[in-house]
């Protein structure tokens, strides 16, 4: 006698209880607090905010805790929450030129106004596991300098004064702000939507594509004009008041890549730009983003589209890790019905194959 499988509802409830138990881990070990995550796993929080498209350290920390440290799962949690939030409008464009800089480096000039500021970086650490960190280590107080009163103009602005680099497109306050989370995406997509897509894109995916462009798959000769990380003010235009109201400040990383030339018989040659921007300190992300942004400008700059990183439909359709993980993992769901249909077809084809191959032999035997 056969009884069909039942009890899925209880299975789900039990699975959730078990998940919660596993998430907590050994109860003799103190539970993680959100400030611990936010303060001590801050780059993970930055990534979740960036790819989750929501600047909220506390929620990102909660998501990381809930996701047991799985950052893509945490990004998913933040995105799903973000989708339910009401929209009040778009802020004024942030001015990264006025950033309170904590780190700023340029690989194109030895010295620049505002100076090179190494800041908090893994760059020159020797990657030797540090046993001191295993517990109870209290680091030295960092050296504190004076905040510079002089401005730190963007390297691209310095190049731009001499016309050596293409100008940044002028801001148009009346132009609608594209938002691919609110409108369906159509191809070809404009750069605003491409940049939004890249900002939300999986860091690993952009890293691989940016890397492929460096290795010759749609090479675009980049220099890291500048990478800066620090705080910028966010302002919102209050229609009633008639002026922009400051909402607070957020930490951003910006990368401007300087790439090889465009120009024509009528236009003097100049460098071209690739742009990357992310919440918090996200250098790998912004550098990869800037490489891919520049690659995706192939069509606009009259370059031949030959590599995956230049193909906007390919890049934009596959960059989102929440979409990608959902579809890859949906293969876990039952597919018995389709599989049964395939089995039926395959059995029939095999039977026909067997009959076809048997027939001549039988004929031979008869002869």
Partner 1 sequence: MNAPAYNFAYLDEQTKRMIRRAILKAIAIPGYQVPFASREMPMPYGWGTGGVQVTAAILGPDDVLKVIDQGSDDTTNAISIRKFFGKTAGVATTTATADATVIQTRHRIPEAPLHAGQVLVYQVPIPEPLRFLEPRETETRRMHALGEYGLMHVKLYEDIARFGHIATSYAYPVKVNARYVMDPSPTPKFDNPKMDDCPALQLFGAGREKRIYAIPPHTDVVSLDFEDHPFTRYRFDAPCALCGAGDSYLDEIVTDDKGGRMFVCSDTDYCESRQSAGHRGSESAAPHKERAHG
Q: How many residues bind partner 1 (CB under 8 A)?
A: 58
Output 109 or 327, the one with its CB closest to partner 1: 327
Is residue 185 a contact residue for partner 1 (CB under 8 A)?
yes
Pair type for strands 100-105 and 223-238:
antiparallel
Please give the Cα distance from 226 to 228 (Å, whole number): 6
**Bond preceding residue 188 cis, omega within 30 of 0:** yes
Interacting span for partner 1 (CB under 8 A) from 163-171, 181-189, 287-295, 358-366 = 181-189
Per-residue interface string for the shown chain with partner 1, residues 230-269, x marking contact by CB under 8 A: ----------------------------------------
Q: Does 58 bind partner 1 (CB under 8 A)?
A: yes
Q: Which is nearer to partner 1, 54 or 165 (CB)?
A: 54
Q: What strands, in cross-sheet order, belong to the sheet with 100-105?
A: 100-105, 223-238, 243-262, 270-279
DSSP per-residue letters across 216-243: TTT----EEEEEEEEEEEEEEEETTTTE
Write down the least CB distance from residue 235 to partner 1, Å: 21
Please choose, out of 88-96, 161-169, 269-277, 345-353, the segment that lies near partner 1 by the rule CB under 8 A.
Answer: 345-353
Three-state DSSP class for 130? coil
The span from the CA of 291 to the CA of 88, in Å, is 32
In contact, 276 and 288? CB cutoff 8 Å: yes
When asked if residue 66 is in the footprint of partner 1 (CB under 8 A), the reply is no
CA 151 to chain centre: 29
Residue selected from 150, 186, 264, 357 as contacting partner 1 according to rule CB under 8 A: 186
> Residue 23 or 335: which CB sits closer to partner 1?
335
Instruction: Write out the binding residues for partner 1, residues 81-110 only, by CB under 8 A.
Output: 81-86
What is the number of other CB atoms lying within 10 angstroms of the CB of residue 100? 13
Query: CB of 13: closest distance to partner 1 in angstroms?
Result: 10
Radius of gyration of the chain (CA): 27
Helix, coil or strand: residue 276:
strand
What's the DSSP call for residue 124?
Answer: T
CB of 264 vs partner 1, minimal distance in Å:
27
258 near 108, Cβ under 8 Å? yes
Closer residue to partner 1 (CB): 32 or 185: 185
Stretch that binds partner 1, among 35-43, 96-104, 264-272, 326-334 (CB under 8 A): 326-334
Per CB under 8 A, the list member of 334, 360, 362, 366 interacting with partner 1 is 334
To partner 1, the closest distance from the beta carbon of 318 in angstroms equals: 11
Q: Token match 């900002």: residue? A: 199
Contact 44, 64 (CB under 8 A): yes
Residue 86 or residue 242: which is nearer to partner 1 going by CB? 86
CB–CB of 273/165 below 8 Å?
Answer: yes
Task: Please pick, from the candidates 42, 66, 107, 325, the single residue that binds partner 1 as defined by CB under 8 A.
Answer: 325
Residue 190 binds to partner 1 (criterion: CB under 8 A): no
Please say whether the beta carbons of 119 and 104 come within 8 A. yes
135 binds partner 1 (CB under 8 A): no
Helix (H, G, I), strand (E, B) or coil at 42: helix
**Taking CB under 8 A as the rule, does residue 143 contact partner 1?**
no
Among 100, 260, 340, 351, binds partner 1 (CB under 8 A): 340
Among 323, 354, 358, 359, binds partner 1 (CB under 8 A): 323
Question: What are the beta bridge partners of residue 254?
Answer: 228, 277
Closest CA to 112 of 150, 164, 142, 57: 150
Is there binding between residue 300 and partner 1 (CB under 8 A)? no
Residues in the site for partner 1, rule: CB under 8 A? 1-9, 11-12, 56, 58-59, 62, 76, 79-86, 180-188, 313, 317, 322-323, 325-330, 333-338, 340-345, 348-349, 352
């Amino acid at each position: 006698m056969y009884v069909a499988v039942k009890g899925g509802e209880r299975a789900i409830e039990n699975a959730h209880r078990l998940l919660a138990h596993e998430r907590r881990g050994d109860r003799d070990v103190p539970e993680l607090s959100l400030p611990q995550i936010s303060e001590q796993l801050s780059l993970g929080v930055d990534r979740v905010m960036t790819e989750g498209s929501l600047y909220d350290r506390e929620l990102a920390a909660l998501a990381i805790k809930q996701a047991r440290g799985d950052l893509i799962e945490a990004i998913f949690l933040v995105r799903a929450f973000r989708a339910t939030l009401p929209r009040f409008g778009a802020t004024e464009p942030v001015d990264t030129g006025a950033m309170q800089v904590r780190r700023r480096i340029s690989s194109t000039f030895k010295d620049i106004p505002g100076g090179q500021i190494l800041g908090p970086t893994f760059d020159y650490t020797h990657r030797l596991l540090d046993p001191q960190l295993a517990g109870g280590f209290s680091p030295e107080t960092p050296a504190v300098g004076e905040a510079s009163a002089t401005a730190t103009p963007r390297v691209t602005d310095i190049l731009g004064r001499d016309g050596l680099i293409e100008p940044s497109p002028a801001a148009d306050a009346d132009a609608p702000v594209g938002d691919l989370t609110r409108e369906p995406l159509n191809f070809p997509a404009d750069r605003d939507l491409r940049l939004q897509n890249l900002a939300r894109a999986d860091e690993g995916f952009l890293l691989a594509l940016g890397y492929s462009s460096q290795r010759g798959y749609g090479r675009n000769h980049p220099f890291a004009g500048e990478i800066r990380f620090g705080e910028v003010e966010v302002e919102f235009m209050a229609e009633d008041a008639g002026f922009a109201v400051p909402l607070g400040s957020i930490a951003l990383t910006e990368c401007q890549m300087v790439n090889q030339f465009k120009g024509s018989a009528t236009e003097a040659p100049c460098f071209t730009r690739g742009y990357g921007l992310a919440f918090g300190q996200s250098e790998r992300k912004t550098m990869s983003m800037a490489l891919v942004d520049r690659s995706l400008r192939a069509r606009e700059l009259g370059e031949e589209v030959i590599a995956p990183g230049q193909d906007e439909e390919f890049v934009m359709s596959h960059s989102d890790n929440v979409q990608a993980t959902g579809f890859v993992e949906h293969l876990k769901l039952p597919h018995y019905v389709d599989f049964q249909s395939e089995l039926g077809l395959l059995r029939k084809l095999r039977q026909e194959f067997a009959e076809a191959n048997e027939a001549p032999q039988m004929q031979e035997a008869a002869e």
